Amino acid sequence: MKEVIAVVRINMMNQTKQALTDIGIDAFFAHEAHGRGKGFVNPAVLSGAQQGYEEAASLLGEKGKL
């Protein structure tokens, strides 16, 4: 037995279910997920950016400021 973990877009779910059923896989589990995660941010850099240090803010980049 093998386990396969996949991320499937919601608009492709029915096609994915049909394709799995066609090849003989009739048991699967689906879980809805939201977001994209934060990723790892160094707490020291984050606190430095919050205190107003421009060097720390530039290390975070535009995505880290959200």
Q: Is residue 40 part of a domain?
A: yes
Q: Is residue 54 part of a domain?
A: yes
User: What mean pLDDT do residues 28-50 have?
Assistant: 78
- The per-residue pLDDT for 65 is 45
**pLDDT of residue 2 exceeding 70:** yes
CB 13 within 8 A of CB 29: no
Angle CA 57–33–2, to nearest 5 = 115
Burial 5-44 (b: 16+ CB within 10 A, else e): eeeeeeeeeeeeeeeeeeeeeeeeeeeeeeeeeeeeeeee
Statement: the pTM of the whole predicted model exceeds 0.75: no
Q: Is residue 16 part of a domain?
A: yes
**pLDDT of residue 50 exceeding 90:** no
Q: Is residue 28 part of a domain?
A: yes
Number of domains in the chain: 1
Percent of all residues in the chain with a pLDDT value above 90, rounded to a whole number: 15
Which two three-digit tokens encode residue 27?
A: 């048991």
Q: Is residue 4 part of a domain?
A: no
Which two three-digit tokens encode residue 25?
A: 């896989």
Q: Is residue 2 part of a domain?
A: no
**Domain residue limits at 53:** 10-64
Q: Is residue 1 part of a domain?
A: no
